[in-house]
Amino acid sequence: MPSPPFRSTAAGARRAAAALWLVVLATSAHAGWFDKFKDPDDGAFDMGDWLLDQRGFLPMPIIITEPAVGFGAGVVATFFRESIREAASRKTEDGRLAPPDIYALGGAATENGTWLGMAGGMVNFDQGRYRWRGGVSRMSVNLDFFGIGRIPGRSPVSVPLQMEGTIYFGEGMRRVAKNIFVGPRFQYRRLSASLEGTPPPGGFQIPPLDVRSNSAAIGMHLQRDLRDSTFYPTKGSLFDFTDDFFDQAWGSRREYQTYKIGYNGFREIVPGQVFAYRLMGCSANGIVPFYDLCLYGFNSDLRGYTTGQFQNRRMFATQGEYRLTWQKRLGFVAFGGVGGTARTWSEFRSDQLLPAGGVGLRFNLDKKNHINYRVDLGFGREGRTVSIGVGEAF
């Protein structure tokens, strides 16, 4: 769901929810219940069959590790209208498995006073030909904001920023060709922003227009998915493009446009070894508020940077990752890449680029779908980050 910089407070952690909840329950449950999560071949913990048959309500804990807001936790109550196995019995027209309908209600909080509440859902119609995603969230976020156009290598000047608001989002997509979906999207946000104390010399100051503001956008989402797996692709690609047009005609105080494009590719080197790569770009045009600029470090672009350290009107990021499936359910990855932010595409400079690299550990939770629990340590030009989640970074 699109939102301001603080949308990253639960990024990655939500995907870790199911696995963490199972681990907690498994350690306290009786032996008969734990047998549901035993692999018949090696006797190790495996949640493959359970995930395939799970339906109804499932409370899932959230662990937040985003440096911008500190450590935190929460819970999301999800409702699966049908199990993945039941949905799989209804293959789509292109031969893929139809995803199950999922609804969610939850909240989270962190050690610096940030909190979030949300409700939403993902629904599919006509054997997966139509998709709808939508929801609403209410949040209050505290973070250090480093301003716009920060230059790498210079001493950072940050201000303590607090943002509060409500966000509504909806998106409908239709399959127009094999593996290609396209459709309209809408978002509406009511936000307020404030600073604690007096900004230091050279520190960011909130424009009067953004102290209290509404932003509303109508846009489009195009996606082509040629991956052989959603959880652990070994071949194929994923192309994704979104545009959002904010205009006073539908309730926005500012008029501006945002565009985002991404391409993920996957190649199997030999069985058990995969090379994955990702290319992405972002552009924000018009009278753009500070909270809708391109954010470096968001959505794992790139690991090694705290979300919001660098933001501007233009951004690009490239990265590659070597993935090794080892033994006894363990795996390892090594990744690296480079990117940057600038006011215009012509203003990118080689000495201001933002490289990153790192390593990660994987533990296989589900052999059938190759779902991994991941811990990544990333190093960037301005520090390092640790990210935890279920599924690969991209």
Instruction: Quote the domain boundaries for residue 72.
Output: 5-390
Question: Is the CB of residue 374 less than 8 Å from the CB of residue 393?
Answer: yes
CATH number of the CATH domain containing 369:
2.40.160.50
Residue 373's pLDDT is: 87
Residue 37's pLDDT is: 64
Cβ within 8 Å of residue 274, ≥6 positions away: 232, 233, 234, 266, 267, 268, 322, 323
Compute the average pLDDT of residues 352-361.
96
Which range (5-9, 58-62, 88-92, 146-150) has the least confidence?
Answer: 5-9
Rounded to a whole number of angstroms, the CA Rg of the chain reads 21
Residue 98's pLDDT is: 64
Please list, residue by residue across 178-187, b when 16 or more beta carbons sit within 10 angstroms of its beta carbon and e when fewer do. ebbbebebbb
Compute the average pLDDT of residues 344-371.
91
Cβ within 8 Å of residue 40, ≥6 positions away: none
Helix (H) or strand (E) run with residue 88 in it: helix 84-88
| Distance in angstroms (rounded) separating the CA atoms of residues 134 and 13 | 19
pTM of the complete model: 0.83
Decide: helix, strand or coil at residue 350: helix
Residue 7's pLDDT is: 35
Count of domains forming the chain: 1
Token pair for 84: 């993945």
Cβ within 8 Å of residue 257, ≥6 positions away: 243, 244, 245, 246, 284, 285, 286
pLDDT of residue 281 exceeding 50, the answer is yes
Helix (H) or strand (E) run with residue 296 in it: none
The residue among 87 and 374 whose pLDDT is bigger is 374
Residue 84's pLDDT is: 64
